[in-house]
Structure 1
Amino acid sequence: MLPLERQKKMLDLLTVKKVLKMNELAKELDISVDTLRRDIHLLAGQGKIEKIYGGIKLADRFGESSMEDRMVNHLEEKEQIARKCSEFIQDGDCIYIDSGSTTYQIAKYIKHKKQLTVITGSVPVILELMNSEIELIIIGGKIRKEEQSVVAFDYIFNFHELNVRKAFICCSGITIERGISDYNLEEAVTRKKMIELSQEVIVAADSTKFGKDVTVAIAPMERIDTIVTDVHVDRGFLSKFKKTGTNLVIAD
């Protein structure tokens, strides 16, 4: 395993277990303690992890913030993004709404749509649309309590017969070079599957996500049709996106 692959796996493990002991890591990665120490020294120097007694944890500023915090952070921008996203949705569509604080807001603006089918693994989206006339299809799988979502496993993910026109995807990082990324491997698996099944992929992400490439790669830029973001996005990205096939939409 290459050093970069080891370090990425280490970060993946930390998103699940939060704290890892040195002996656990050495055994999991099948490497010597000296090699492990070198990787830890590098990741700590990058500000991605913190050393603790006998082990490591994700740095507070590097790990994914809680769903509760994200529901209120940058709320005005997320609502603007959601309203803009709702303009892409037509009566009769079958769409996927991802788990996430920005995509959740979309549910508030689509209740008037006619003959709309929504596929989701987001518990807040389900609760928002439960008493509407929208037909809801819920992904089966494991409950991620911290994300308030259901993450799917391949053997129970059987949506290939559905004509999913549009997928509204969340992410934690966006770069031109690497595409979109997230912190959790299980969330990424669901997102990759829905991107594969959907005719059109729309990423809903506030401007703080730009320029970040976090733990788990989800999709390269060529798989993304549109990114909807807020007015605070660095204007340097506008010219860069003109060189890609991805449409960058500013919600205002």
Structure 2
Amino acid sequence: MARLNAQNRQEQIIELLNNNGSMKATELADYFSVSRETIRRDLNTLSENGSIKKGFGGAIAVNDFTTLPIDSRLLDEHDAKKRIARKALSFIPEHGFIYLDTGSTTLSLALELKNLSGYTIITNSIPVLTTLIDSKNHLIFLGGECNAEIMCSVGVQVIELLKTLRVDIAFLGSAGFEQHHGPATNAFADGQIKSCAISCAQTSIVLCDSRKAKYSSFQQYASWNEIDHLISDTDFPQEFADKLQEFTNVILV
């Protein structure tokens, strides 16, 4: 490839990231036949002007990385999320202890639980808390530092309390996993809590609509063989679902 000036190279970097979701700095350096230091400067420039998001050792497209407000995400694929939530409900044992993660699809499950009773629900999600606060379930909120972007509590206090608990099922969300070998999230602190929840649960279930199979995220928080079930909708790419069946039970509703 002919050498490009910085502006043209940066425009092509944005295009590559939009097409691939994410790329490593070493891949970009090889693609443009420039040094890693040159790519590092390009990524810094693009990150500072909001064109991309930097990750560990590379960069991520803004359209993949950006977390939309939860109200907007709840409206997206509303019918699919409702079907996923109702299927998830069938896994909960009578008087079961469950962990409900932050996210729009797990919030759909909270809406299903709102008019039920007898469950113990542990969560760090502020929307889940406000949804279930007046329900006839036993609700435990894991307090800590509040993250306004993902609407949940995070930090050492959350993790230390969660470590002392045991639940029947952890219901987990994912921001996308197209280029990962497991479910992933856009926030490192959120990923730490998700990983801890898996270790505290007898069964771990990821709930997400089919679009997450086409998105990339920042951090993988588990491998698929740590997840017992993935529940999604019937628009999930069949070839991808067949591949994941080698590691986890994929249920499409």
Residue in structure 2 matching 1:64, options 63, 66, 69: 66
Q: How far, CA to CA, are the matches of 1:39 and 1:207 in structure 2? A: 34
1:249 paired with 2:245, answer no
Match of 1:50 in 2: 46
Unaligned 5+ segments in structure 1 are: 1-33
Task: Report the TM-score, using the length of structure 1 for normalisation.
Answer: 0.75
Report the RMSD for the aligned CA atoms in angstroms. Answer: 2.5
Q: Residues 80 and 50 of structure 1: is their aligned pair in 2 closer, same or farther, counting only changes over 3 Å?
A: farther
Q: Residues 93 and 40 of structure 1: is their aligned pair in 2 closer, same or farther, counting only changes over 3 Å?
A: farther
Q: Indicate the structure with greater helix content.
A: 2
Q: How far, CA to CA, are the matches of 2:121 and 2:158 in structure 1? A: 21
Instruction: State how 1:111-126 maps to structure 2 within 5 Å.
Output: 111-126=114-129
Q: Shift of the alpha carbon at 1:112?
A: 4.8
Instruction: State how 1:80-91 maps to structure 2 within 5 Å.
Output: 80-91=83-94
Match of 2:31 in 1: none
Match of 2:32 in 1: none
Instruction: State how 1:167-178 maps to structure 2 within 5 Å.
Output: 167-174=170-177, 178=181
CA contact (8 A) 2:180 2:216 kept: no
Instruction: State how 1:111-190 maps to structure 2 within 5 Å.
Output: 111-153=114-156, 157-174=160-177, 178-190=181-193
Task: Report the TM-score, using the length of structure 2 for normalisation.
Answer: 0.75
Deviation readout 1:178-227 (Å, 9 max, x if unpaired): 11111100111110110111110000011111154421110001100000
CA contact (8 A) 1:165 1:200 kept: yes
Q: Shift of the alpha carbon at 1:51?
A: 5.3
Deviation readout 1:54-106 (Å, 9 max, x if unpaired): x8753431322322321221122111111111111122111000000110010
Match of 1:193 in 2: 196
Q: How far, CA to CA, are the matches of 1:39 and 1:173 in structure 2? A: 25
Unaligned 5+ segments in structure 2 are: 1-34, 54-60
Q: How far, CA to CA, are the matches of 1:156 and 1:239 in structure 2? A: 34
The one-letter code sitting in structure 2 at the alignment partner of 1:50 is: L
Give the secondary-structure state (helix, strand or coil) at the position aligned to 1:106.
helix
Q: Residues 62 and 40 of structure 1: is their aligned pair in 2 closer, same or farther, counting only changes over 3 Å?
A: farther
Say how many residue pairs are matched.
Answer: 211
Residue in structure 2 matching 1:100, options 98, 103, 110: 103
Q: Shift of the alpha carbon at 1:155?
A: 7.5
Q: How far, CA to CA, are the matches of 1:57 and 1:241 in structure 2? A: 29
Match of 1:39 in 2: 40
Residue in structure 2 matching 1:227, options 196, 215, 230: 230
Q: Residues 61 and 91 of structure 1: is their aligned pair in 2 closer, same or farther, counting only changes over 3 Å?
A: same
CA contact (8 A) 1:185 1:216 kept: yes
Match of 2:207 in 1: 204
Percent identical across equivalent pairs?
27
